[in-house]
Structure formats: structure tokens, C-alpha cells
Amino acid sequence: MDAVKPDRFHLALTAYGRPVMHGWWGSEVVARGKFVSWVGAYGTVPGARLVLADEVEARAIVVWPDEG
């Protein structure tokens, strides 16, 4: 079984491309919960963009607003 990496899941909030705040979690479930919470709390910030990334797999898990 793999050891938990406390910094595996990185959540970043930017506004107009500038960093506003970020955090790291070892649990994807917790990180996804934070993502939902941050969308609710900061989704009205002008130019806001949230990205939850898996740092081990080097990929974005979810992005808001949806770019698709």
C-alpha cells in the first residue's frame, strides 16, 4: 500500500491569472470537498479560476469554471 502524501492534491485559486490562495491535502475526498467549498465561497470573485490537481499524476482533476 502506498504511503499517503500530505501534499498530493493541490487546490489553487487564481483571479485574472494571479495567485490568490492555495492548499494541499493528502486525501482526494477532502480536497474535492474543499474544491466545492471554495467554488461556493470564491466563485463570485472577478476572474476567479479554481484548479484541483493531482501532483503525483501531474494532471488536473477538476477545473472551475468548466473550460469544456
Cα distances from 50 to residues 25, 27, 31, 55, 57, in angstroms, run: 15, 18, 12, 15, 18
9: in domain: yes
Domain holding 3, by residue range, is 1-18+30-61
Split into its structural domains, the chain has a count of 1
53: in domain: yes
- Specify the pTM: 0.90
8: in domain: yes
The pLDDT tens digits for 46-57 are 999 999 999 999
The pLDDT tens digits for 19-35 are 999 999 999 999 999 99
67: in domain: no
40: in domain: yes
23: in domain: no
68: in domain: no
24: in domain: no
